Amino acid sequence: MTLLDGLFGSDALATAFSDHARVQCMLDFEAALARAEARVGVIPEAAAQAIAAHCLAENINFAELAQAAGEAGNLAIPLVKQLTALVKRDSPEAARYIHWGATSQDAIDTGLMLQAREGLKSIAAGTDQLCELLAELADRHRATPMVARTWMQHAIPTVFGFKVAGWLDAMHRHRRRLQALTKGGLALQFGGAAGTLAALGDRGLAVSKALAEELQLPLPDLPWHTHRDRVLEIGGTLAMLTGSLGKIALDVALHSQTEVGELAEPAKPGRGGSSTMPHKRNPVHASVILAAAERMPGLVATMLGAMPQEQERGLGNWLAEWETLPEIFRLNHGALERTVIVIKGLEVHTGRMLANLELTRGLVFAEAAAMALAPHVGKGEAHTILEEASESAARGQQHLSTVLVADSRVTAHLSAQEIQRIFDPHACTGEAERFIDRVLETHRTRSN
């Protein structure tokens, strides 16, 4: 664990994308390959057992591995060497069959797919948990008035639950993408030196099928060494998810500003505080989530830029993926975990929401007032009256209702009480609740 793992990482993903897991997943490939080849009759059963028995990351000397990788150009070559030495001690015959017919990239890419499968599980679970929390939050605040802001300026009234339903709606799409990815986005990599499995003669495909079964990974139509779209799809999907988490975090941070005060991250001793500034509640989680979202574009760009790989094995481009995709997983899951914490304990200051609605002295109700007047004077005239009234209220620092009550064009049709009712924030949120219901309905359908 590095110093900043506590800040940016997550325990679950630290496990799936640790150096240990990286090595273990490559060893899982080697063990499964030996078993598959024994099943098909390419290598002796005893050799497969001997090989599989040694495929434990605990047996590997990591420092030596790191050193040797620097010369070999990848981890698989020195890993196979270490494994061979281990097996040789017990069974020199079996040692000859290690990695039989495979190439380094087979072990590395398949290992990556196994890590990704674990990582995606954690991320899917986190997303599900987040959806539950958001659904509950949206429902709870389906009638909590607040002001909607566009260009960071007050616009018109809305409800807090509508904002949350928007967050949830995005998560629904990400959940669907994660499901599609888990179902169709992973694949075995097994092609030997140049993809043709030539070293296995006419039994390459049979071994491939057995190997795919062993590892429970889909067998692709053909090996995909230099075709990296699968890897990109994983990274891109997680990056998009992180972007949406960043949007939630940005909203939380904006609504937590001292002047706004509508939301606050859950308080906890030692988090985001300042001993001399007790009024401060720094949005630490939001900042970390935003940092993850800031870093995704560059990481995905690296992977996209590495797509055109040379012939049957890439040069630097393939290597450029090795630390980049794990970083995407790490940052994404760290951000996801923090979003769950934020939403779970989010402080919602409904009083401040109501108070802020009044900051512009009724101007955010101008649209609602025009609508109330329209049936009486026509839409165009209603619009004109409100324009003038709003302008006059703003100039005179009066409440818009005060101006309307004094305007005979309005009072000819609406009583003072009717005018006051216009400024009820509960009365002018349009389809907000029905939109919330639509999203919650989707949530329920998905969850079952």
Chain positions 189 to 218 lying near a second copy, rule: CB under 8 A, are: 192-202, 204-205, 208
**Candidate list 58, 380, 408, 412; residue touching a second copy; CB under 8 A:** 380
The 3-state secondary structure of 172-214 reads HHHHHHHHHHHHHCCCCCCCHHHCCCHHHHHHHHHHHHHHHHH
Task: Answer left, alpha or beta for residue 125, where phi above 0 means left and psi between -120 and 50 means alpha.
Answer: alpha
**Candidate list 4, 183, 397, 408; residue touching a second copy; CB under 8 A:** 4
Contact 289, 341 (CB under 8 A): no
Nearer to a second copy, 122 or 208 (CB): 208
Token digits of residue 416: 């003072």
Q: C-beta of 447: minimal distance to a second copy in Å?
A: 15
Token digits of residue 436: 């919330």
What contacts 187, CB < 8 A, 6 or more positions away? 113, 217, 218, 219, 220, 224, 230
Q: C-beta of 328: minimal distance to a second copy in Å?
A: 11
Q: C-beta of 419: minimal distance to a second copy in Å?
A: 17
Q: How many residues bind a second copy (CB under 8 A)?
A: 175
Please choose, from the candidates 362, 354, 428, the residue with its C-alpha nearest in 3D space to the C-alpha of residue 400. 362
Chain positions 261 to 280 lying near a second copy, rule: CB under 8 A, are: 268, 270-272, 275-280
Chain positions 338 to 377 lying near a second copy, rule: CB under 8 A, are: 356, 359-360, 363-364, 366-368, 370-371
Q: C-beta of 244: minimal distance to a second copy in Å?
A: 6
**Candidate list 299, 336, 373, 422; residue touching a second copy; CB under 8 A:** 299
162 binds a second copy (CB under 8 A): yes
Q: C-beta of 347: minimal distance to a second copy in Å?
A: 14
CA–CA distance, 215 with 212 (Å, rounded to integer): 5
Q: C-beta of 192: minimal distance to a second copy in Å?
A: 7
Contact 47, 77 (CB under 8 A): no
**Candidate list 153, 397, 417, 448; residue touching a second copy; CB under 8 A:** 153
CA–CA distance, 423 with 402 (Å, rounded to integer): 11
Q: C-beta of 152: minimal distance to a second copy in Å?
A: 5
**Candidate list 83, 114, 215, 286; residue touching a second copy; CB under 8 A:** 286
424 binds a second copy (CB under 8 A): no
Q: C-beta of 274: minimal distance to a second copy in Å?
A: 8
Q: By three-state DSSP, how is residue 148 classified?
A: strand
439 binds a second copy (CB under 8 A): yes
- Residue 257 burial (C-beta neighbours within 10 Å; 0-12, 13-18, 19+): exposed
Q: Binding segment for a second copy among 106-114, 118-126, 231-239, 416-424 (CB under 8 A)?
A: 231-239
| Amino acid in the structure at residue 19 | D
| Amino acid in the structure at residue 432 | A
CA–CA distance, 433 with 138 (Å, rounded to integer): 10
228 binds a second copy (CB under 8 A): yes
Nearer to a second copy, 51 or 368 (CB): 368
41 binds a second copy (CB under 8 A): no
CA–CA distance, 427 with 445 (Å, rounded to integer): 30
250 binds a second copy (CB under 8 A): yes
Q: Binding segment for a second copy among 70-78, 117-125, 129-137, 406-414 (CB under 8 A)?
A: 70-78
102 binds a second copy (CB under 8 A): no
- DSSP conformation class of 58: G
Q: How many degrees, rounded to 5, is the angle at CA 19 between CA 17 and CA 25? A: 70
**Candidate list 172, 175, 212, 340; residue touching a second copy; CB under 8 A:** 172
387 binds a second copy (CB under 8 A): yes
68 binds a second copy (CB under 8 A): yes
434 binds a second copy (CB under 8 A): yes
Q: Which residues carry out catalysis?
A: 274, 313
Contact 119, 16 (CB under 8 A): yes
- Residue 136 burial (C-beta neighbours within 10 Å; 0-12, 13-18, 19+): middle
Q: Report the Cα 348 to chain-centroid distance in Å.
A: 24
Token digits of residue 101: 């017919």
Chain positions 103 to 142 lying near a second copy, rule: CB under 8 A, are: 103
Nearer to a second copy, 150 or 448 (CB): 150
Nearer to a second copy, 294 or 347 (CB): 294
